[in-house]
Amino acid sequence: MIYQIYILDELGNALSMDLVDCATEEDARARAAALVDEHPVELWRGPQRVARFDPPQD
């Protein structure tokens, strides 16, 4: 399956987008979660948001 991973700014606008091909949704979630730093990350499959990963609060 092809998923889109978006790294978002503080207003929710996409700073970048990557397409990833993952065998399972679990794999896609792990790849997206690994990209979280100071910006939130969203995982999408087509027009549907699968998950959102927020950075830890200070």
The pLDDT, as a whole number, for residue 8 is: 98
Residues in the chain: 58
The 10s digit of each residue's pLDDT in 2-55 is 999 999 998 999 999 999 999 999 999 999 999 999 999 999 999 999 999 999
Helices (H) and strands (E) in the chain, counts: 1, 4
The 10s digit of each residue's pLDDT in 44-55 is 999 999 999 999
Confidence of residue 57 (pLDDT cuts 50, 70, 90): confident
Residue 58 has pLDDT above 80, yes or no: no
DSSP code of residue 24: S
